[in-house]
C-alpha cells in the first residue's frame, strides 16, 4: 500500500458530496418524532403480542413447568415451549449451544423457558409471571476466576506467542507481576429488542426486526420454522441504537415472534421491557487478567505475558471472535518483541455475553495500558514518555513494525498524531499545574493521562469482509440505493448516499437509501467491526459506477466523443462542450433501453487469518487516535469529575466530518461509562441486580466535560478504502482509557506518586476509595 503523494491531490471537487459535513439523513425525522422504528410500524389487523417466561435460577434442571395459570390468564391466546418449535431450537451464531427456549435445563437467571401470546403487550407480560416451575438446583459458576479454577470453558484456550518470553523476562533489568479486573457493560440501546413477525402466503414469513444482522436473523428464523431462507424476509429500516447487542442476540426475539406467528397464522410482536431485555441479553465481556512484564531502565518492554479470562456466559455466542480480537489488540500501539498471550473463555451461569462496540479490542488494549502506567510510576517517569518509547516504528527500516500475529504496520501515524495532541492540548504545562495543585490540596486531587489507540479494521474472519448493494436510477433522475448495512444512528445510510451522489455527480438530495431487506441484498454480513461504511460504501460505489459507465457510453454516442470524456458533475452530464441535465439524459437513456439499475459488490482484498496459529494479516488497515484527560477526585467520597478532554482521531479522509466527530464524541463518553460508572452486579444466587436505569448508571450529559475538544487528524488512508476514509465506529471507545488512567494518576498523588493504585474498572466511587485506602496504607 502506497501513501498518496499529498492530501490535496485527493481532495474532492467542489461539487462532490463526499467529504462534506452533511447532517444525518434522518436527523429531521428524529427531531420531529417521525422516524419509523419497528414499534412504530402500524399494526396489522389481528396482531397479537408475546412475552417470555424467564428462569428464576442460575443453574437448574426443570423438574416440572406448570403453565395452566398462564394459559388461563386474561387475554392469553397461546403458550409455547421448546416442544412446540417446528424446527431447530437454537439461536447460536456459531456453535449450536444456545437454545431459543430452555428444554429441561436452565443455565442463567433470565433464560427464556416459554412464550406467552396474548391480545395486548401488558396481558402477555402479566401472564408470563404466573408460571409455577419446579427447579432442581445445580452448582453455579458466576465469575471468570471461578470458571478458570473449575476449567469451565465454552471454547478451547487460545494462545499467541512470539519470541522467547522466558528468556527475555529472565534477562530484563526490571520485572513486575500483577492482576487486573475490568467489568462488562450493558449496551443500553434506547430502543430495546423488538421483532414483528407477519405470516404470508405459502408458509413465508416477513419479520421487521431491530437488528444489526438481518441475514443471520433470516437463517435462525428459517431453521426454527423448518423452512429455507427464501421463505423468510427480514427488514430493518433503522435501530434506536445497537452497539453490538443486536448483532446475534436479536435472534432469540426474532425467532420467538416468528414461531408464534407461524403457529397461530397471525401477526405477533415481541417487544422487550427494559428489565427483561437486560436480564435476558448478553453484555460486553468482563475480563480478569494476570500479567508478568519485563522492562528496561527507560521503560521499554522486553517481555510480556498475559492470561486473560473472560466471562463468556452459559454459551459460546461470539466469545471466540471477541477473545481473538482481544488477543490481537493486546499490543495496542506498542511493539512487543517477546510475548505470550493466553485467552480463556470462561463458561459461567450468567447471560451469554456478546458483541459490544470494540468487540474485545478495548479489553485487550487496556491491559497493556495498565502495565505501561505501572512501569512509568515504578521508574518515576511520565507515562507518555514510556508510551512513546514503546510505540511501533515508523517504517520497516526500524524493524519494529511487526505485530505479534505477524501483520506489518505500514500506516503508522501514532508518533505524529500524539505529538500534535501533546502540543495542542498543552499537556506538559497542564500536567505540571496539576502537580502544583495537588501539593497544596489534601482532599481534592487532580490527575492527567494521555493514551493512544491503534485499532485494526476488518472482521477477523476474512469471508465476512464482503458486501452487496443495489442502485436504481429512475426516469426522473432520482436515485435509490439499497445495501446490506443497517442504520443504528451511526450514519451509514448518509455516507453510502454521499458515495452514490459523488459517483453520479449529483446533489445528496437526489439520492435516498432504503431499509435493509434480505429480499434485496442477500447473504449480508453484520453491520459490525467498524466495517459498515467501508464495505457497503464500496459496494454502492461499484453499482453506481456501472450505471455511470453505461450512461457515459450512451452520452458519448449522442455527442460524438469518447466515453472517458464524459463527466458527471453539478447534476449535469458534460460532453462535447454541452451540459445536459442528468434527468434529461436519464430519460433519453431509458427510451434507448439503457439499463438504469445495477448491483454492486465488494470484497476486502489482502486479508488472511489462520485461527490455529493465530497469525496472518486480519486487518485491512489500522485507525489511530489519542486523548488527553484531566480529572479531579475527591479522596474522601470517591467522587470524581472529568474537567477537560482533548481528542485527536484519525478518520483518514473523512466521508462526513460532522458525523465522524459525533461518533468520536459518543464513543468517548460511552467508553468512559464502561470504565467508571457502569457496574454490572450479580448477587450470590446469580441474579443480575443492575437491570434498569435506577441501578445501572450510564453517563448523563452532566458527566460530559465542560471543555471537550475533538478534532480529526489530517490524514489519508494508505489502503484503498472508500474515498481513503477510515472507520470511526469502534476505535473511539478506547480513547477514554485516558480518563481511567487520569483517575489513577489522581489517586497516586495521595502517596506522592510512589505507589501504584490497585484501581479496578469500573472506577466507581467505591473502587476509587479502595484504591485510595491502599495507597495510603502503602505510604505509611
DSSP 333-385: TB--SSEEEEEEEEE-SS------TTTTHHHHHHHHHHHHHHHHHHHT--HHH
What cell was used for 477?
A: 433522475
| Contact residues for 571 (Cβ-Cβ < 8 A; gap 6+) | 505, 506, 507, 510, 581, 582
Q: How far apart are CA 8 and CA 732, in angstroms?
A: 26
Cα separation, 503 vs 507, in Å, equals 11
Tell me the three state secondary structure of residue 678.
coil
SS3 215: helix
Instruction: State the alpha helices, DSSP H only, in 426-470.
Output: 427-439
Catalytic residue among 191, 307, 422, 730: 730
Tell me the three cell numbers of residue 356.
459490544
User: Which residues, listed in sequence order, are joined to residue 313 by a DSSP beta bridge?
Assistant: 347
Question: CA angle 435-441-443, nearest 5°?
Answer: 120
Output the CA torsion sign for 83, 85, 91, 97: positive
Alpha helices in 560-621 (DSSP H): 582-591
Who contacts 397 (Cβ-Cβ below 8 Å, separation ≥6)? none
Task: List, in order, residues 6 or more apart from 438 with CB less than 8 Å away.
Answer: 445, 446, 746, 749
Query: Between the CA of residue 479 and those of 16, 506, 524, 575, what are the distances in Å?
Result: 16, 9, 22, 21
The DSSP-derived string for 67-117 is -HHHHHSTTEEEEE-GGG-SS-----SSSS---SS--SEE-STT-EEEEEE
| 730 assigned to active site | yes
Backbone phi and psi for residue 454, each to the nearest 5 degrees, phi listed first: -125, 115
CA-closest candidate to residue 386, choices 446, 445, 333, 447: 333
Nearest to 54 by CA among 285, 256, 189: 256
Which residues, in sequence order, are CB contacts of 710 under 8 Å at separation 6+? 647, 649, 661, 664, 665, 668
**Residue 705 vs residues 645, 701, 736: alpha-carbon distances, Å:** 7, 9, 12
| Phi, psi of 644, rounded to the nearest 5 degrees | -155, 145
> Is-contact 322 398, C-beta < 8 A?
no
**Of 284, 290, 282, 343, nearest in space to 181 by CA:** 290
Q: Which residues are catalytic?
A: 730
Amino acid at each position: 500500500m502506497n501513501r498518496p503523494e499529498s492530501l490535496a491531490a485527493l481532495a474532492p471537487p467542489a461539487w462532490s458530496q463526499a467529504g462534506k459535513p452533511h447532517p444525518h439523513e434522518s436527523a429531521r425525522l428524529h427531531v420531529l418524532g417521525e422516524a419509523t422504528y419497528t414499534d412504530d410500524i402500524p399494526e396489522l389487523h389481528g396482531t397479537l403480542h408475546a412475552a417470555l417466561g424467564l428462569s428464576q435460577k442460575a443453574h437448574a434442571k426443570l423438574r416440572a413447568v406448570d403453565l395452566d395459570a398462564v394459559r388461563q390468564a386474561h387475554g392469553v391466546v397461546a403458550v409455547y415451549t421448546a416442544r412446540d418449535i417446528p424446527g431447530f431450537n437454537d439461536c447460536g451464531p456459531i456453535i449450536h449451544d444456545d437454545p431459543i427456549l430452555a428444554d429441561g435445563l436452565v443455565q442463567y437467571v433470565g433464560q427464556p423457558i416459554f412464550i406467552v401470546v396474548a391480545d395486548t403487550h401488558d396481558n402477555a407480560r402479566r401472564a408470563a409471571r404466573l408460571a409455577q416451575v419446579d427447579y432442581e438446583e445445580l452448582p453455579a459458576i458466576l465469575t471468570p476466576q471461578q470458571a478458570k479454577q473449575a476449567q469451565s470453558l465454552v471454547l478451547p484456550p487460545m494462545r499467541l506467542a512470539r519470541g522467547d518470553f522466558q528468556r527475555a523476562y529472565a534477562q530484563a533489568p526490571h520485572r513486575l507481576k500483577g492482576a487486573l479486573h475490568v467489568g462488562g457493560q450493558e449496551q443500553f440501546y434506547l430502543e430495546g429488542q423488538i421483532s414483528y413477525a407477519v405470516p404470508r402466503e405459502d408458509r413465508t414469513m416477513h419479520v421487521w426486526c431491530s437488528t444489526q444482522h438481518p441475514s443471520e436473523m433470516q437463517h435462525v428464523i428459517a431453521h426454527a420454522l423448518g423452512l429455507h431462507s427464501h421463505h423468510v424476509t427480514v427488514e430493518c429500516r433503522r435501530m434506536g441504537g445497537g452497539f453490538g447487542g443486536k448483532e446475534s442476540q436479536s435472534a432469540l426475539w426474532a425467532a420467538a415472534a416468528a414461531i408464534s406467528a407461524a403457529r397461530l397464522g397471525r401477526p405477533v410482536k415481541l417487544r422487550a421491557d427494559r428489565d427483561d431485555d437486560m436480564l435476558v441479553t448478553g453484555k460486553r465481556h468482563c475480563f480478569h487478567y494476570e500479567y508478568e512484564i519485563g522492562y528496561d531502565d527507560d521503560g521499554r518492554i522486553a517481555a510480556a505475558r498475559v492470561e486473560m479470562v473472560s466471562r463468556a456466559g452459559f454459551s459460546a455466542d461470539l466469545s471466540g471472535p471477541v477473545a481473538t480480537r482481544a488477543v490481537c489488540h493486546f499490543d495496542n500501539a506498542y511493539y512487543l518483541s517477546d510475548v505470550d498471550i493466553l485467552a480463556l473463555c470462561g463458561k459461567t451461569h450468567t447471560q451469554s455475553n456478546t458483541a459490544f462496540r470494540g468487540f474485545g479490542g478495548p479489553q485487550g488494549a487496556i491491559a497493556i495500558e495498565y502495565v505501561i502506567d505501572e512501569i512509568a510510576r515504578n521508574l518515576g517517569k511520565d507515562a507518555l514518555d514510556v508510551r512513546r518509547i514503546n510505540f511501533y516504528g515508523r517504517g520497516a527500516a526500524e524493524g519494529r513494525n511487526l505485530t505479534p500475529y505477524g501483520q506489518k504496520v505500514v500506516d503508522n501515524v501514532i508518533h505524529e498524531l500524539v505529538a500534535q495532541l501533546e502540543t495542542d492540548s498543552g499537556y506538559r504545562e497542564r500536567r505540571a499545574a496539576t502537580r502544583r495543585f495537588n501539593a497544596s490540596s489534601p482532599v481534592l486531587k487532580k490527575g492527567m493521562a494521555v493514551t493512544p489507540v491503534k485499532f485494526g479494521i476488518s472482521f477477523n474472519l476474512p469471508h465476512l469482509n464482503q458486501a452487496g448493494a443495489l442502485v436504481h436510477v429512475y426516469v426522473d433522475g432520482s436515485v435509490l440505493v439499497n445495501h446490506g448495512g443497517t442504520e443504528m444512528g451511526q450514519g451509514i445510510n448518509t455516507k453510502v448516499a454521499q458515495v452514490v451522489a459523488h459517483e453520479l455527480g449529483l446533489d445528496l438530495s437526489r439520492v435516498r437509501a432504503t431499509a435493509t431487506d434480505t429480499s434485496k441484498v442477500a447473504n449480508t454480513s453484520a453491520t459490525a467491526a467498524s466495517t459498515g461504511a467501508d464495505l457497503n460504501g464500496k459496494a454502492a460505489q461499484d453499482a453506481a459506477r456501472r450505471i455511470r459507465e453505461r450512461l457515459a457510453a450512451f452520452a458519448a454516442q449522442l455527442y460524438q466523443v469518447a466515453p472517458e470524456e464524459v463527466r458527471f458533475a453539478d447534476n449535469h452530464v458534460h460532453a462535447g462542450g454541452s451540459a445536459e441535465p442528468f434527468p434529461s439524459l436519464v430519460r433519453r437513456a431509458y427510451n434507448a433501453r439503457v439499463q438504469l439499475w445495477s448491483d454492486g459488490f465488494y470484497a476486502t482484498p489482502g486479508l488472511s487469518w489462520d485461527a490455529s496459529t493465530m497469525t496472518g494479516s486480519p486487518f485491512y488497515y489500522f485507525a489511530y487516535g489519542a486523548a488527553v484527560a484531566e480529572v479531579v477526585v475527591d479522596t474522601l467520597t470517591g467522587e470524581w469529575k472529568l474537567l477537560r478532554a482533548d481528542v485527536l482521531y484519525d478518520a483518514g479522509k473523512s466521508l462526513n466530518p460532522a458525523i465522524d466527530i459525533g461518533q468520536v464524541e459518543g464513543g468517548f463518553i460511552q467508553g468512559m461509562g464502561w470504565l467508571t460508572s457502569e457496574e454490572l452486579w450479580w448477587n450470590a444466587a446469580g441474579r443480575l441486580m443492575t437491570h434498569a436505569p435506577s441501578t445501572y448508571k450510564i453517563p448523563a450529559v452532566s458527566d460530559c466535560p465542560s471543555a471537550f475538544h475533538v478534532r480529526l487528524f489530517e490524514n489519508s488512508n494508505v489502503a484503498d478504502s472508500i474515498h481513503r476514509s477510515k472507520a470511526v465506529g469502534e476505535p473511539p471507545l478506547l480513547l477514554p482509557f485516558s480518563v481511567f488512567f487520569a483517575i489513577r494518576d489522581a489517586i497516586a498523588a495521595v502517596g506522592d506518586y510512589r505507589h501504584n493504585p490497585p484501581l479496578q474498572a469500573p472506577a466507581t466511587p467505591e473502587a476509587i476509595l479502595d484504591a485510595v485506602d491502599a495507597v495510603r496504607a502503602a505510604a505509611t
